[in-house]
Structure 1
Amino acid sequence: MAIILKGGTIVSASGRRQLDLRMADELIQEIGFELRPECDDQVVDVRGHYILPGFIDAHTHFELNNGVTGTADNFTTSSRGAIVGGTTSIIDFATPEPGGTLKDCLAEWNRLAQDKTSCDYSYHMTLIEWNTEVEAEMDSMIEEGITSFKMYMAYDNLRASDADIFEAMLAIRKRRGMLGIHCENGDMVNELIKKTRAEGHLSPHYHPLSRPPAVEAEAVERYLMMAEQADLPVNIVHLSAQRSLEAVIRARGRGQKVFVETCPHYLVLDDSLYDSPGFEGAKYVCSPPLRKKSDQEYLWQNIITDQVDTISTDHCSFNFKGQKELGMTDFSQIPNGLPGVETRPTLIYSYGVATGRISLEKMVDLLSEKIARQYGMFPQKGILQVGSHADVVVWNPQGEGVISVKTLEQAVDYTPFEGFQTVGKPHQVYLRGQLVAEDGQVIQSKKGRFISRGSSDWTC
């Protein structure tokens, strides 16, 4: 039996058309004007709604242990939030144990995700060590459909040397993979934290002061210099600051191919929240930190001018009670990370599309199509066309709401967007043709599958 969505407006990155859509056997089977139902077809009237490709979040930490505590959410709870919000695919960061193999890491992430996840999923493989054995394993990762990798320039337990990053770039270049890096100067962060603590400054107010825009921008500049020498198109994850994006624009002016990702919290929150009453500022501790309103506005301007390519979330949830509170007497001990996978689409619609900053087509590009192209998922994902997966969001542009932790699917005990007024929300969400969420409720769970990805599209 097929499902026909009738009377809606299909939206892609390149335009919109008022057409019907038929889906069956997990795929989009037909798109056309006034499609005629067959005798057993289910017809769904979606007049007044947009029909959008399922959103993709390319930056999640559904299960992460920072060495002290683990995330409040897991693949089960985070993915329920994902589908309710309209995100039908995610790419999570798989992180090996020190001295562990990539193969063992993949097996562990499959154990965490398989038969527990409500959206489709894949992984970036994190490289916390670099040696000949790790390079040899990269080929097996590519064969498994994991074609993107992550490295860190900060965090002592994760960061790689410049020499290791450069060598990894050359290896990834041979395999036509994608590299993303957490760009902060780890030595400077450590010294600034040490200095700030020695001065007795221990509240959340000092978190952004210990990780100023300069330490991000310096790391971006250094990363791009290495990428230029390696002749590798690269990705900058969770870019937060004007100064960092200016470095990217200069590199692009020299002819470099650079992908830039930012996150909703850098677009709608700012560093004044670190001065919230009591210890409330801890809720917003993430790295890079929230920035000034001027950085926020600069990011929006450069989303409009295509200098920012994608918006993902860096979803990494720690409870305020008992977890964020670990840093009650020392901001540097507050677990870093914010939840966001559930709220990203409605935030970008509310504060981007509904305000006139960006078009709905641009939102589809930022949250779906360009991500699919960049990470080797297109046209399986990221677009509504015949033969693609029937990952579909029926979007109600009139739906109004207020974000509240009380109504979210996530398990974490707060949302950084509490009280935000929203307009526009998913009415129905289909994963490979199955209705999995409707009007904020999960209809079917744990239907997600692993996505084997191809080579990155370096030209998109």
Structure 2
Amino acid sequence: MKKLIKNGTIVTASETFEADLLIEDGKIASIGANLSSSGAEMVDAKGRYVFPGGIDPHTHLEMPFGGTVSKDDFESGTIAAAYGGTTTVIDFCLTKKGEPMQSSINEWHAKSKDKAVIDYGFHLMIGEINDDVLAEIPKVIAEEGITSFKVFMAYKNVFQADDETLFRTLVTAKELGGLVMVHAENGDVIDYLTKQALKKGQTDPIYHALTRPPEVEGEATGRACQLTGLANSQLYVVHVSCENAVEKIAEARRKGFDVWGETCPQYLVLDQTALEKPNFEGAKYVWSPPLREKHHQDVLWNALKNGDLQTLGSDQCSFDFKGQKELGRGDFTKIPNGGPIIEDRVSILYSEGVEQGRISLNQFVDITSTRIAKLFGLYPQKGTIAIGADADLVIFDPTIERTISADSHHMAVDYNAFEGMKVKGEPVSVLSRGEFVIRDKQFVGSRGQGKYVKRAKYGQTLTSDANEAISK
């Protein structure tokens, strides 16, 4: 059914203006003043912003880790994302050494099929490089539309890859049009520091942070940047948490290296003291990289403002406090890493960023949607408001004030990392390809409404024809 959104203030990464939007067949058909269309459903957005749907480039839904599985799956996780103003997520598909990557991709398709309520895609982990992997990557790009590949520099003996694997992945990505992503922490040094801490009986959650100091993130980030320059390739550093890593990314970009950086809301508003909470409550805040000392927050905000960091992901990887995080009582290394972030990503950036004058309204849209779409082969079908683009839209009320709480969130997990935090501004209605998923703060979507998106190669645009080929 046609829809006509009237009286809203449209905000893109470059413009802010009052106009109406006509939606037909899931696409934006017209933008202009005083539009009318017979038979269209009228939606009044007076006093509200109309944003392009948020894109979360960093989620771990139903992911196995630390002897358990993250609590939010592709149903609960995408419902929560939609409530938070996100209309597309890109989830990390984990591979297994010695097995075809396609088997892991098939597993992720099975997890997500007929569950997601918003559109989604996959990144693919590269844990090893050999002739079989090199032969499979072109097929993954061409047939699956997976054009981003993640290499872990941490989690020794679990996910960690060596420098040869990283470098050869960078070279291959340059040749084939992929974007390499890195979890940048020095896993070997962390392994040593962790063993030393346990020998001393240092087992509380705070030691998760103290054995992963900012220096190990900065070193790994710098190393990845240097290898990217040597390969003349492209790099995206996920979940940047500290000044040390920001400096390495900024330095690489000044040299002309094709390097991009992402941070997450938890690093912008929470700090290391959360891990010191008594009665094991600090375990709720165990994720990697860890929360940092508070002074790093200003550095991250400034990096978003000046462009040294460009995107905001959630790194959603939720585990219940009871029964899951508690697996690490008496040994911080056994606490499942991750937190419930997906629902509050957009609101926190708006409230703490735009409302506090740290970033502009247009930067907010770029950081949460447009730049992500451009980097990950979704633009211009997603990430902007333009004629012919998917009608992925957020109607946002900047005046609403609310308090974040597990009592009112929509994630499946039993706690909220931002419990008690007051934010201003909230998505009230969210549309995916022209259909309401959230309407007047109520879920009206349906399980399986979201579709798998095949993405374009790095630096290329997603054509309308390609987007109509959304499948699986």
Q: Normalising by structure 1, what TM-score?
A: 0.98
Whether the 8 Å contact between 2:170 and 2:234 is mirrored in structure 1 is no
Whether the 8 Å contact between 1:5 and 1:22 is mirrored in structure 2 is yes
Residue of structure 2 in register with 1:36 after alignment: 36
Matches within 5 A, 1:32-431: 32-38=32-38, 40-143=39-142, 144-155=144-155, 156-431=157-432
Whether the 8 Å contact between 2:60 and 2:91 is mirrored in structure 1 is yes
Residue of structure 2 in register with 1:7 after alignment: 7
Aligned partners of 1:458 and 1:5: how far apart in 2?
30
Aligned partners of 2:439 and 2:46: how far apart in 1?
16
Q: Which whole-Å deviations, capped at 9, do the CAs of 1:162-209 have from their partners, x for residues lacking one?
A: 011111111111011100010011110000000111111110121111
* Percent of residue pairs identical: 41
Aligned partners of 1:157 and 1:458: how far apart in 2?
33
Q: Which whole-Å deviations, capped at 9, do the CAs of 1:23-79 have from their partners, x for residues lacking one?
A: 0101000000100221x1111111100010000000000121115111111111101
Whether the 8 Å contact between 1:238 and 1:314 is mirrored in structure 2 is yes
Q: Which whole-Å deviations, capped at 9, do the CAs of 1:108-136 have from their partners, x for residues lacking one?
A: 11111011001100000111122110111
Q: Indicate the RMSD between aligned Cα atoms, in angstroms.
A: 1.1
What's the secondary structure of 1:90's corresponding residue?
strand
Aligned partners of 2:415 and 2:177: how far apart in 1?
40
Residue of structure 1 in register with 2:456 after alignment: 454
What's the secondary structure of 1:407's corresponding residue?
coil
Letter aligned with residue 25 of structure 2: D
Q: Which whole-Å deviations, capped at 9, do the CAs of 1:271-314 have from their partners, x for residues lacking one?
A: 01111122110000000000111111110011111111100111
Aligned partners of 1:237 and 1:414: how far apart in 2?
24
Q: Could you tell me how far 1:99 is from its partner in structure 2?
A: 2.0
Whether the 8 Å contact between 1:80 and 1:445 is mirrored in structure 2 is no
Whether the 8 Å contact between 1:82 and 1:341 is mirrored in structure 2 is yes
Aligned partners of 2:193 and 2:210: how far apart in 1?
8
Q: Could you tell me how far 1:458 is from its partner in structure 2?
A: 8.4
Equivalent residue pairs, number? 458
Q: Which whole-Å deviations, capped at 9, do the CAs of 1:236-268 have from their partners, x for residues lacking one?
A: 000111011111111122221210000000000
Residue of structure 2 in register with 1:19 after alignment: 19
Following superposition, which runs of at least 4 residues in structure 1 exceed 4 angstroms of deviation?
Answer: none
Aligned partners of 1:457 and 1:125: how far apart in 2?
18
Q: Which whole-Å deviations, capped at 9, do the CAs of 1:320-370 have from their partners, x for residues lacking one?
A: 001101111011111100111111111111111111111111110000000
Aligned partners of 1:339 and 1:140: how far apart in 2?
33
Q: Which is worse superposed, 437-446 or 351-360? A: 437-446
What's the secondary structure of 1:265's corresponding residue?
helix
Q: Which whole-Å deviations, capped at 9, do the CAs of 1:348-400 have from their partners, x for residues lacking one?
A: 11111111111111110000000000001000100010000000000001111
Aligned partners of 1:391 and 1:69: how far apart in 2?
34
Q: Could you tell me how far 1:440 is from its partner in structure 2?
A: 3.1
What's the secondary structure of 2:215's corresponding residue?
helix
Unaligned runs of 5+ in 2: 462-472
Aligned partners of 1:396 and 1:179: how far apart in 2?
36
Q: Normalising by structure 2, what TM-score?
A: 0.96
What's the secondary structure of 2:68's corresponding residue?
coil
